[in-house]
Amino acid sequence: MSTDPLDHLKSFYDDCRTAPVPESLTSQPVKLPWWLRLSVPIAGLTLGGLLALLLIAMPNQASPGAGADAARALSKLQIDMATHQPAEEGPVPSEPHADTRRGGRQWIG
Amino acid sequence: MQISLAARLNQAIAMRTRAEVDALLRDSRPWLYRLALAITARTEIAEDVVQEALVRAARSRDKLASAAEPRAWLRTVVVRCAITALAKVPAEPQADRPCDADPTEALAVRHTLGRLNPADQAILALAHFEELSYAEIGQALDIPVGTVASRLHAAREAFRKEWRK
């Protein structure tokens, strides 16, 4: 005597009625107190505001000093080049490296 | 005009609070998962179906809050999500273990269900897992009550035919 296939289906459905539910569907999100939930966006806004202020203020502070230093260095270099004298500071080659065969300058260390 | 006003008044009275809707969604999860499992016969799809259904329910919170039968409303959402999900996956189910007192029988049922079309899987679950009336099945599948009997008969026959293959 063969059973109706639908009996197997009904048996399967009976098992489904007691099937374990995945943890992802049963776990509850953690509910924080209101003051803690509120503190997160406030801290974010404060930090963001401070960062924005810092970015706005930085170029104004750095540019005058940096510009003056650069101008001084450039004028000194121009003077050195005009007098054909090497700069006071900086590396001085210890051995001749210029091409002396064609009467080029010779540096004596 | 008076009828419309009365209907709106009834709706306002029946309106659930946000906390009630949240509790309804939370408490319905096991039932929704098991319904999705009965339809899809695959644990991983059932889980995705419930997640999707919960997202849709959360988006339509107002409808759920004012639904005359929130359970029926949620059932309809899960059935639609399940049919959509089944239409996207290959027909043959993989070997996993949803709920098996007898693994061989459960596996055979899953394989048989996997060869049916998604609408047949849904109507079989609504009739034999949920044990709904024709009117309730028609509501869940959005088909006339008169069509339910013929669709259910066809689904049962399809299951028997696939089982014997």
pLDDT 10s digits, B58-98: 888 888 888 888 899 999 999 999 999 999 887 655 445 44
For residue B41, the chain A residues in CB contact (below 8 A) are 12
Please state at what angle helix B18-40 crosses helix B70-88, rounded to 10 degrees. Answer: 40
Chain centroid to CA B89: how far?
Answer: 17
* List of long-range contacts for A7-10, beta carbons under 8 Å, 24+ apart: A8/B105, A8/B108, A8/B109, A8/B163, A9/B109, A9/B112, A9/B113, A9/B124, A9/B128, A9/B159, A10/B128
pLDDT 10s digits, B16-74: 787 888 888 888 999 999 999 999 999 999 999 999 999 999 888 888 888 888 899 99
Q: What is the percent of chain B with per-residue pLDDT over 70, rounded to a whole number?
A: 83
Q: Is A68 helix (H, G, I), strand (E, B) or coil?
A: helix
- Tell me whether residues B34 and A5 touch, CB distance under 8 A: no
For residue B51, the chain A residues in CB contact (below 8 A) are 24-25
The interface pTM score, or ipTM, of the predicted complex is 0.82
- Tell me whether residues B159 and A11 touch, CB distance under 8 A: no
B49 part of contact set with chain A, CB < 8 Å: no
pLDDT 10s digits, A18-51: 999 998 888 765 555 667 677 878 888 999 999 9
pLDDT for B1: 46
pLDDT for B61: 83
Hey, how many other C-beta atoms are within 10 angstroms of the C-beta on A48?
A: 10
The structure tokens listed for B74 are 């949620």
Residue where the block lists tokens 């809050």: B65
Confidence of residue A16 (pLDDT cuts 50, 70, 90): very high
**Full set of structural domains in chain B with CATH:** 2-164 (1.20.140.160)
- Of residues A80, A14, A20, the one with CA closest to residue B43: A20
